[in-house]
Each structure stands twice: as C-alpha cells, then as structure tokens.
Structure 1
Amino acid sequence: MKKLVTIGEAANITGLSAKMIRHYEVNGLIPKVTRTDAQYRLYNSQQLKLLGVIKQAKKLGFSLVQIQALSDLWQNPNRASREVKQLAEEHLDEINLKIKELKQMKKELQELANNCNGDENASCSILDGLDKV
C-alpha cells in the first residue's frame, strides 16, 4: 500500500476506533503522522501495520508501557529477539499470577455462596464472610 489513508480509513482497516488511534499517537505509541494542510492525519502502510501490532498486544493484555516497549522493538530492525521474548515471558508470569489469584477468589466466593441459605432471613453467610478483619 503506497497511498496514505485518513484516520477514518485507518480505523476501518485496523478495526480500531479513530479515538484510540489518536490516543496511541498522543501517547507516543505511534510516531507523529503526516498531516494535510487542513490538519487531517494521514497514515502509511507501516503505521497501519504498527497499529495492528498495538491492537494485538492490547488484546493479549499487555500494558501501555509494555506495548510501548514492544512497539519500539518492532520498529527496530536491529532488535534482539531475546528482548521481545523476555517481555512476553514477564507478561506470562503476570497472567499466571492473576489466574492463581482469580482461582483463589473463585474458591472463596464459591464457599461463601454455598453457605448462604438464600432465603427470606436477614442472616447472610456471604456478608458475614466479607466481615472478616
């Protein structure tokens, strides 16, 4: 793709909203783009690919700081793949910790719910369980 596209076309191509694309530009995730005399943003194929990388990284749960690092690495042809792998493995560790925490939350909440009669009485084992200090 040699031609430049407007932000609306970029949004259609990438599946991102124009608002998110502007947000990524303002936050430095993508380099400043070319503008027309009327100040319309124009995106080239490389920027569209970068937006796709950002979208996928966001979908995988990377933080904006991590996405910035991935974006920088993606744009650097002299990068070392070990840096990319390290970022991915650190994120996997975070995900595994969250999964462990969620499983514990589920277990505790299930126990509370199982012990609740769920009837017309004011007594509630769920609220009693939340009252732990």
Structure 2
Amino acid sequence: MNSVVSRQAQEILPVGSRGTGFYDVTREVAHWVGGTGIGTGLLTLFIRHTSASLTIQENADPDVRADLADYLATIAPEDPGRYRHGIEGPDDMPAHIRTMLTQTSLTIPVGNGRPLLGTWQGIYLIEHRRAPHRREIVMHLLGE
C-alpha cells in the first residue's frame, strides 16, 4: 500500500501599494512556497479586500499591464454622478466594479517546490484605488 502524507501551510503576505497599478508579488510567493518544504501541491492565493484583486499576467512587457489598466478604467470609470456609493471617494465604486470583473483568488499548481507558472507569467496584485493601501494576500498551500 502506497501512503501519501498531505501537509498544509498558510501565511498572510502583506503588500503595500502606492496607488492604482499592478504590483508583482511573484518573487515573494515563490520564496514562501520554496520555504514550506512542500514539493508538489496546489497553491491558493486569496486577497482579503473588495477594492483590489489578483491576476496572472504577462511579466515581460509593461505595456500589457498599462493597456489592461486603461481598459479597466474605461469599463469602470470614475464618475461621481454615475454611482450611488461614493462615501469613500470617487475612486471607490469603480474599484469595487474592477475587483468584481477580475479575481479575488488564484489557484496555481506547485511542482519541485515552486509555482508552475509559464515563462512569461507573473502574479500581480491589482490596486484599484488611487491612495496607497496595505493589502493582504492569504497564501495556502496543500501538498506533499
């Protein structure tokens, strides 16, 4: 009989933003995965916010992220007269819409103690608010 012992690891990754934009967290996530001692498994990343999100996107050409940011601003523009919710400022409701259209969690396979991302893939926190914020990403790894 072949027995497999599953293990779990979990940690919160704090990320400071300087305002709207894409923040590459690939290195920090990979470093944490490598330090868990889990070689094969499934990594879940979850952002604990409603006005920021996560994505896996191209890490080579920054124009890709700029174009994506422009597109998100176009489909959920800041327009104080457009939204009912505005108590936290004109960028808050568009931030909620942009978060709803993107992702609050990611699932990434892990092999040989590292996230199995493609050559041109990076993990990004997308800050949808203009002001700096302290964000938290829950990292949970299940494997062996």
Which TM-score applies when normalising by structure 2? 0.25
**Bigger relative contact order, structure 1 or 2 (CA pairs below 8 A, ≥6 apart):** 2
The structure with the greater share of residues assigned to helix is: 1
Q: Would you tell me which structure has more strand in proportion to its own residues?
A: 2
Larger Rg: 1
TM-score when scaled to structure 1?
0.27
